[in-house]
Structure formats: structure tokens, C-alpha cells
Amino acid sequence: MNLTIHEGEFVAIMGENGAGKSTLCQMMNGIIPNSIGGRLAGKVLVHGLNTQEAGISILATKVGIVLEDPETQLFTSSVKSEVAFGAENLCLSPEDIEERVAWALNVVRLKGFEDRLPTSLSGGQKQRLAIAANIAMRPDILVLDEATSQLDPVGVEEVLSVARELNQKYGMTIIMATDASEMIARHMDRVIVLNEGKLEADGTPRQIFSDLPLFKKLMIRSPQVSQLAAKMQEAEKPFSSFPITIDEAKENVIQLVGNRPGRVTVVPENHKTVEGAQTSILVDNLDYIYQPLNVHAVKGVSFEIKKGEFVALIGQNGSGKTTVLKNLLGLLRPTSGTVLVAGRDTKKTAVAEMAEHVGFVLQNPDQQLFAQTVAEEISYGPKNLGLPPEEIEKRIEETLKVVGLEGRREEFPPAMPKGDRAKVVIASALALDPEIIILDEPTTGQDYKGCHQIMQIAQALHEQGRTVVFVTHHMALVAEYAKRVIVLSGGKLLLDDVTEAVFSQPEVVRQAYIIPPQITELGQALPPELGLPRTPLSVQTMADALLQKLNAPSLEQEHV
Amino acid sequence: MSSLISYYPGNTLFHRLDPRVKIIFMLIACTGILMINDFYIAALVFGLIILLWFSAKLPFSVFLGFMKVLLPIAAFLFVIQAIFYPGATPLIKPLIPIGKGYGQITLEGIIYSFVLALRLMAMIIMLPLISYTTPVQDFALGMTKMGLPYTMAYTMTTALNLVPLLQTETKVIVDAQKLRAMQTFEKGKLGEKLRAYPALVTPLVIGSMRRAQLMAVAMDSRAFGASKKRTYLKDLKMRTADWLFMIATVVFTIGFIVLSRYL
């Protein structure tokens, strides 16, 4: 691979999981191959300095790196000492360190947080702190290796705006492995696409996002407005230019259909009526307080989920989503209020007993894989129930089929790719044949392909008649898949309605620091007189509406 | 039990003490406690340490958490010692005579068991008193100032830091197993419980290795270990309160040892 990155560039690295993004990132400051073994053929030069020959301290002042998991890169117990850590290792004088700490905290907007515990910060704040800790060493280059993929949309926005400021105001070269394509389109100069360790494409965001064959070949995320343009192109009704931002798309749409009056009748997305169905989950006035620090995480939340519903639970990090989910299983017991799941009071039922009725998939697959083979992993639950071997065998086969991992029963789960590990965990929960499936952030840290595959599995489970509840930060997925959305904010219930109704109130949704998907924002940005859907939930809906409008006999002629 | 190493911010006397003083306090006090064999003195020392605990304004629930774990261990020790300690004043005749003087419960045995249980609890409760009131980087700084190379001091504190992470991780994994209808740890027999452990170890080891590798990447990129010496933003200075506390520690420890010997 050959690649040159110039001073002051703001570069995005995209690619599917396993394409080599992290390896490339870690090569830039010599961690590969100096600390982590491996054979490197060729050279990596940073400012003419060979990373294999230069020492860590020299490289650390040239290249800073921020990793995906905030927890692994913060070592001390105060914000200030965290930022000072690197500068101290460079043997600077206390006065210099003090000055750099003040500067770095100011840049990442954490001034006033000096004495806080790093663990008490939000995800976005932690990543900004990790940036501060790196830039205090005054590197010329900052590498962000998937540094936003575990954050909620607001956290992503925070980190990006800091990165942008470092780039524009301080001329720092920023290299970011990310798939936040909407942000890439708005702010970055250059996109590098990797595939199987090779350089697949390299160009401006516009060149890359309009490269339709590329997106056919690789499952990577392009801005939803670009996806819309691609669909229009396929239907041979292309826009006059290729949009990558909302504003451009708005102009394009107006230009294309602006002179065609008349309202598009959109077939409402199929909302299964669940009136009268059995209650699956009932949460009544739930309060939860974490001890010993007395954190009031959930305050008076009530909702009812009927059998067979497909519900997304959304909210900012720390809004209480995971706490609510854990209360559904008895992993946490309500401080006050009642939770009835599958007719059982979770306060009085053992977790293991609940597990027969509710399949709960926790966030990190790696903490949920205990066995040596996939088959053994899936049979873990049924064995605990004491099911006969024939039945267990049947369930292994069935669940593997549902998650699309047929023929891989002998593999060692921890060594499988990230997306497949998540699927094994889902299969293992399904093996208990639960009537309710709860997925806690199943898509976090997954690439675009993994996200959709997981959501399609959830969709299939919903179609089997099971109740499905999931938490995710990916609003495009919520809009596309969920039938109903519950929004939590600051531990309280903010909204609870069908998906379309929730996203049709952007002001309210933003109170929960949630940013609606881009295609929905486009629908709301367009002038209402165009008669296009105001709250399109998927790119397909919008494309269909546009095509319907274009194919309808023009009404103008009647006026003549 | 809540985790052993984490920091509860505060501004009490104990929080403000120089970390070196706290390290010395811990060493001296532990040695002292081991040398006490008088019941009243042991009770007094335990009481004093509890007082210090509360003067540091650490949450009561955390204290209770420790006691929940410590009391059964202390009780176990108590029973064993009470039965096997040879004494002169028998209280209860042995049900099964084991041997000469053994197996009968004596007054001396009971008193000694009390002392032993108190000593154990006093020593163990002292660890969190120090770790909860000292930021890790100050700990490391204290150790470097006492002559340890900084890489070693940081390695030690980082290792301590991993303890709560491992605890949380273990809890998540056990939860994940319960979610797959595992009841072994609640209802299973001893043999079943032992057989359930390997399933816990696989994810724990893989997770720790992954984490350690990432931490190394993050530390490298912050130039850790790049040169033999490093500078510190914060400097440690012994203040009057520090000297007083140290003197008090020494005086009290010697006093208690002498008292317990000659009382």
C-alpha cells in the first residue's frame, strides 16, 4: 500500500471491519510494529522520520492517538493529572506542563473539569479528555482510531467539533477512522477507503460518495442523501448534481420535482395493530437509585409493551436506558415501582428463571462468549434448562439458521469477526426460545454491514411474533426498523409513540440530545408545498415518493 | 462488596495527608497490629481505625459491604481458633475428644479468637481507607519519592487499578451466564460450582489481554517509559499535619504494643 498524507489535512479512513483501519492507524505512531509484533515490509515515514527507527518519545510528540474504548486510555483519577501524564513523561518543567494542561483543556472545552474523576465523565467528555491528553504533547498529527464509534450522536458531534477546531485553528493533521459519513461530508477534505488491507479508493468526500460501484462492492455507510441520489440514479431519474449534504439535496429535490404540484400519497409504514394483544412488559412508576453514590438513574418511568411489538429505546448515554433494561431482567431490582415481564414480577423472580422467557443480549459480545465452539456456546442455555440432547441439537440448527451462521458450529467464538460474535450471542439467547428478546446496543462498534445484519435478525424475530426491544445510538436504524420508539432523557420518559410520530417532533427529540436520521431531516427541511412526506423514515420511502411524483401525470397541463 | 481500589474524592484530613505518610502509616500500623495480643487493645485499635474511616467521610454502605465479606471470614477463624486453642479454663467439655487439651472450648481460646478476628478486620479495613482517599497518581508519586523507579510504581498502581475493572467484568460475565439460565452459583453443588468456573475464565482472560494490549498502546502514545526519569506537575511537601500524623502513628503503635505486652 502506498499513501501520502499532507500536513494540515483532515482525512477520514473508511472500510468494513477487518479492512485494516486500526492497523493503519497504529502504524502511524510506530506502535505497530514497535510495541505489538508483526512483520512490516516497506516504510512508514512521519515527517521524514522512520517509525521503526525513531523512539517512542520522539514519535509521541509527532503523532497522538485516541482509541475506541475511553476506559482503556485513562489511567489517573483526575482530569488534570490525566492531561499532565504525557507531558510529565517528556520531562517538561512543572510550569510548562501547567501551561500545556490549561491550553489542552481549553481546546477540548473541559476547562473547569480539572478535579473531576475521569470515570465520572460522559463518553463524549472522556474522548475529549483523551484528545487533550494527547495534544498536551503538541503532536503535529492526531489519529482517532474509531474514537467515536461507542458514542451517542451528541458525543460524536462533540469530538468532531474539537477535531475540526484542531485542524482549522491549529493546523493539526487529523486522521480519523470513522463511518460517520454525514460528518465526513460536511467537514473533511479527503476520504481513504480500505478493503482487505488494500487501498480501495482515495478522494474527496464528493468523489467517494458518488462512486456508486464502490458502494455496490463494499458495505460502508454513505450519507443518506447520497444514498437517495444513488437510488434516483438507478431509477434513471437522476438529480442534476450529486448531493452529499442536506442543503445540496434540498436544492436537488426542489429542482427535480419543485414544479410538480400535488401531494404524494405515501402508503403508511405497516404498523401492526397490537390493541388488545397480551401485555408482554409492564413497567409501572419505576425508580432506580444506584448505591453507594446515590445516583438517581431512573425516575418514575412507566410504559407497557404488548406481545409482538418491535420497540426501540433511545436516549443519550446516561439517560437510563441500560438501567431500565436491567430492571426488566431482575439484574437490578427496582428501588420502587413494579416491573412485570411475561407476567412475572422481576423483584421476586430469579434471573435464571426470567431467562427462559426473556432473551437478553448485553452490549459487549466478548463478555458473553464462554465456550470453545459455537455449538457448545449455543447449547449452554438449553443445557442449563436440562433439555434432552435431540432438542438441544434441533435448537442449535434452528438458531444458527436464523442468524445466518450455518455450517460454522465448530469455530472458536472469540476468534470470529466482530459481527459474527454478536450473532453467536444472539443465537445463544434464542436457544432458550424466549417470547421476548431484548438487545442492549447490539450495533455499537459494528460496521454498517454488521448493523444491518443484526437488525435484520431482530426484524425476523419480530416477524416470528416475538416481542423485540432494542437500544441503539444509530437513529437511521431506529427509523428504519422500529415500529415504536420510547425516548428517555435524564432518567425520565420523554416520548413514547409510533416511530414516525416521534421523529416528526424534532424539537422534542433534540431535547434528549438525539439527532434524527438525515433523510428525516431532509423531509423536514423541504418546503411543505412540495407535498413530499414530512417524516420519511428510510431512504427508500423518500425515493419512492419522489418517483411517484415524477411518474404521476403532470397537473400543470390541466391548468393550461 | 464494592471494589477495593477506586477513589472517593473528598477534603478530609485523611484525604490531604501526604501519600508517603499514608504508605508509612499502613506499614507501621499493620506491623503493630500483628504484635498485639491483648483483647482490649485490639478492640481499641479496631475502634480507632473505624473512627479514621468515618473521619474520611467514606460512604457507610461501602463499610457495610466490607463487613459483609469480612464477618463470615472472621467468624470462621473464630470458630477454628476457639476449638483448637489450648487453654487452662475449660468452658465446654469437648464432644469428641480430639487430643490432649484440644477440642475443648476454653476462655483463653475465646479471647484469643476475638483478638485474631479483630486484628484481621482492622488490617483489611485499613487498605480501602488508604486507597479510597488517595488518587492513584499520588500513590505512584509517593512511591517514586520513596525511591522506587517510576515505571515500577506506575505498573503497581495500574495493576491495582485493574482489580475493580476485573470485578466489574466478572459481574457482567456472571450476569450473562445467569441470562442463559445458569443457576449453578445459586443452587448448584460444590462440584458443579467448580466446573462452572472455566466458563468464567475464558472471557475474563481474553478480555483482560485485549484490554492490557490497548492500555499499552495508549501508554506508549503518551511517551510512558520513554526516559529513565520524568517530571511531575505536582510536588509532594510534608506539612506539619503530616509530621504530626506520622509521629502519632509511631507513638500510638509503640504504646499499644508495650501496653499489650505488659498489661
d(CA A278, CA A299): 26
Specify if A2 maps to a domain: no
H-run or E-run covering A288: strand A279-290
Q: What share of chain B is helix, strand, coil (3-state, %, to 5)?
A: 70, 0, 30
pLDDT tens, A449-498? 999 999 999 999 999 999 999 999 899 999 999 999 999 999 999 999 99
Do residues A338 and A396 share a domain? yes
Confidence band, pLDDT 50/70/90 cuts, at residue A559 = very low
At residue B237, what is the residue type? K
Do residues A204 and A311 share a domain? no
Specify if A206 maps to a domain: yes
Do residues A375 and A452 share a domain? yes
Specify if A173 maps to a domain: yes
pLDDT tens, A285-338? 999 998 767 789 999 999 999 999 999 999 988 888 989 999 998 899 999 999
Confidence band, pLDDT 50/70/90 cuts, at residue A513 = confident
Mean pLDDT of the A20-46 span:
78
User: A272 pLDDT exceeds 70?
Assistant: no
Query: Of A72, A88, A429, which is closest to B211 when you measure between CB atoms?
Result: A72
Considering only residues A359 and B211, tell me which one the structure prediction assigns the higher pLDDT: A359
Do residues A534 and A505 share a domain? no
Chain B residues inside the 8 Å CB shell of A81: 135, 137, 233-234
CB contact under 8 A, B231 and A92: yes
User: B98 pLDDT exceeds 50?
Assistant: yes
d(CA B199, CA B178): 12
Which residue range(s) make up the domain with A20?
A: 10-217
pLDDT tens, B74-96? 888 888 887 777 777 777 765 56
Q: Which residue has the cell 482490649?
A: B40
Residue of B11, B68, B144, B222 to mutate, testing the A interface (most A Cβ within 10 Å of its Cβ):
B222
DSSP state for residue A42 in the 8-state scheme: S
Residues 92-121 of B with CB under 8 A from A: none
d(CA A558, CA A460): 47
How far is the alpha carbon of A103 from chain B, nearest alpha carbon, in Å? 15
Strands A49-50 and A45-46, bridge-based pairing: antiparallel
Q: Residue B207 CB: number of other CB atoms within 10 A?
A: 20
CB contact under 8 A, A97 and B233: yes
In this structure, of A242-246, B175-179, B184-188, B245-249, the range with the lowest mean pLDDT score is B184-188
What pLDDT shows up at residue B102? 60
What angle, rounded to 10 degrees, do the helices at B19-35 and B39-55 form? 160
* A308 neighbors A270 (Cβ within 8 angstroms): no
pLDDT tens, B146-196? 998 988 888 888 777 777 778 888 888 988 998 998 887 767 777 777 777
Specify if A3 maps to a domain: no
Do residues A231 and A348 share a domain? no
Residue of A61, A76, A426 to mutate, testing the B interface (most B Cβ within 10 Å of its Cβ):
A76
Confidence band, pLDDT 50/70/90 cuts, at residue A558 = very low
What pLDDT shows up at residue B159? 79
- ipTM of the predicted structure? 0.83
CB contact under 8 A, A60 and B222: yes
Helix (H, G, I), strand (E, B) or coil at A313: strand
CB contact under 8 A, B231 and A367: no
Q: What share of chain A is helix, strand, coil (3-state, %, to 5)?
A: 45, 20, 40
> B230: closest CA among B153, B115, B121?
B153
Do residues A182 and A61 share a domain? yes
User: B1 pLDDT exceeds 50?
Assistant: no
Confidence band, pLDDT 50/70/90 cuts, at residue B97 = low
How far is the alpha carbon of B25 from chain A, nearest alpha carbon, in Å? 22
Do residues A338 and A479 share a domain? yes
Specify if A273 maps to a domain: no
By CA distance, what is B135's nearest residue in A?
A77
Confidence band, pLDDT 50/70/90 cuts, at residue A526 = very high
Chain B residues inside the 8 Å CB shell of A29: 220-221
Q: Which residue has the cell 410520530?
A: A501
Cβ burial, residue A523 (10 Å; 0-12/13-18/19+) = buried
CB contact under 8 A, A370 and B186: no
Considering only residues A205 and B5, tell me which one the structure prediction assigns the higher pLDDT: A205
pLDDT tens, B14-73? 999 999 999 999 999 999 999 988 889 999 999 999 999 989 988 888 888 888 888 888
Inter-chain CB pairs, A–B, below 8 Å: 189
pLDDT tens, A115-152? 888 888 888 899 999 999 999 999 999 999 999 988 88
Confidence band, pLDDT 50/70/90 cuts, at residue A560 = very low
CB contact under 8 A, B202 and A60: no
d(CA A135, CA A103): 9
Chain A residues inside the 8 Å CB shell of B216: 35
CB contact under 8 A, A370 and B177: yes
Domain count, chain A: 3
* A10 neighbors A174 (Cβ within 8 angstroms): yes
CB contact under 8 A, A350 and B183: yes
Cβ burial, residue A323 (10 Å; 0-12/13-18/19+) = buried
* B116 neighbors B43 (Cβ within 8 angstroms): no
Helix (H, G, I), strand (E, B) or coil at A463: helix
* B179 neighbors A353 (Cβ within 8 angstroms): no
Considering only residues A294 and A361, tell me which one the structure prediction assigns the higher pLDDT: A361
CB contact under 8 A, B175 and A331: yes
Query: Of A35, A61, A133, which is closest to B216 when you measure between CB atoms?
Result: A35
List the domain boundaries for chain B: 1-135+235-263, 150-227
> B136: closest CA among B118, B119, B155, B123?
B155
Confidence band, pLDDT 50/70/90 cuts, at residue A556 = very low
What pLDDT shows up at residue B19? 93
Do residues A397 and A432 share a domain? yes
Do residues A314 and A236 share a domain? no
Do residues A50 and A193 share a domain? yes
CB contact under 8 A, B227 and A350: no
Residue of A291, A351, A379, A437 to mutate, testing the B interface (most B Cβ within 10 Å of its Cβ):
A351
* A52 neighbors A44 (Cβ within 8 angstroms): yes
Chain B residues inside the 8 Å CB shell of A364: 172
d(CA A60, CA B223): 6
Considering only residues A43 and A86, tell me which one the structure prediction assigns the higher pLDDT: A86
By CA distance, what is A116's nearest residue in B?
B9
| CATH of residue A45 | 3.40.50.300
Residue of B11, B172, B179, B220 to mutate, testing the A interface (most A Cβ within 10 Å of its Cβ):
B179
The C-alpha angle with vertex A354 and arms to A353 and A360, in degrees rounded to 5, equals: 130
| pTM score, whole prediction | 0.83
